[in-house]
Amino acid sequence: MRKPIIAGNWKMFKTRDEALQFVYNINMKLPSKSLVESVICAQAPILRDLVKRQGDNLRVGAQNMHYLDSGAYTGEVSVLLLEDIGVEYVVIGHSERRAYYNETDSSVNKKVHQAFRYGLTPILCVGESLEIRETEKTNEFIKVQVVNALKGLGTEQIKELVLAYEPIWAIGTGKTATAEMANDTIKAIREVVRDLFDEETAESVRIQYGGSVKPANIEELLSMSDIDGALVGGASLDPASFLELVNAAVK
Ligand code: 13P
């Protein structure tokens, strides 16, 4: 049994006060972490405050980090600092970072290794553009992303990893992939993991869906055979909505 994981990706939203108020609102109401992993990925400057206030059932993630320990990289965040302040997850290779900040399959792979080196759990994002979806090249495109991102990792690491399938055309657009479509692509991703590693590893790795997930569609998505959770942007910003999402995962 794969434990569901619901992660809010707050992107570049929320002030410190807003973020702390959110955590205060949800902390006592979250379901047990033995049933579902609830994670909030916030902007770097407030991660320490969030970790300090995370209750038993909430965990904190970063949205990006560098693949080197330290150096002359103005504006970047080191995993050493993330580990030091108690951050446990890090989103790697989000399509917005691939599109706007030159994130490549190669840098994504280095970042996944770097996260594991310091004990953080990577939430590794893959996903196709509308053009790729419409020309029916989704599976081959995603296969390349997954193979490149997982280069050099061992089975124990793959079992710890969280993959997130986020079709770019469904992000922030209100267009969700149908549950069947999302499940079919996630199955194809699991197949890639099976080919690269083995059956047990493929059955263990958790794969989230992301792209316009909301309280109204989460139950259907999570009812599918291969969808193990969600990576949620807009609908994770409101405490009541985030609680609905995590509660759907324990039904
Ligand atoms: P939305 O849920 O706002 O579509 O964002 C999805 C996403 O990019 C999560 O990482």
Sign of CA dihedral 198, 203, 207, 213: positive
Model pLDDT for residues 241-250, shown as the tens digit of each residue: 999 999 999 9
Q: Is 231 helix (H, G, I), strand (E, B) or coil?
A: strand
CATH code for the part of the protein at 5-248: 3.20.20.70
| pTM, rounded to two decimals | 0.97
Under 8 Å between Cβ of 18 and 51 = no
Tokens of 20: 């702390």
Model pLDDT for residues 180-192, shown as the tens digit of each residue: 999 999 999 999 9
Ligand 1 contacts CB of residue 127 (under 6 A): no
Q: Write down the mean pLDDT value for the chain.
A: 97
What value does the mean pLDDT take over residues 6-12?
Answer: 98
For the chain, which residues make up each domain, given as ranges?
5-248
Model pLDDT for residues 173-229, shown as the tens digit of each residue: 888 789 999 999 999 999 999 999 999 999 999 999 999 999 999 999 999 999 999
Cα of 198 from ligand 1 centre, angstroms: 30
Ligand 1 contacts CB of residue 213 (under 6 A): yes
Residue 172 in this model has a pLDDT that exceeds 90 = no
Separation of alpha carbons 130 and 246, rounded Å: 28
Separation of alpha carbons 197 and 153, rounded Å: 10
Model pLDDT for residues 34-88, shown as the tens digit of each residue: 999 999 999 999 999 999 999 999 999 999 999 999 999 999 999 999 999 999 9
Amino acid at site 74: T
Amino acid at site 249: A
Ligand 1 contacts CB of residue 167 (under 6 A): no
pLDDT at residue 1, as a whole number: 84
Separation of alpha carbons 122 and 197, rounded Å: 18
Separation of alpha carbons 148 and 110, rounded Å: 10
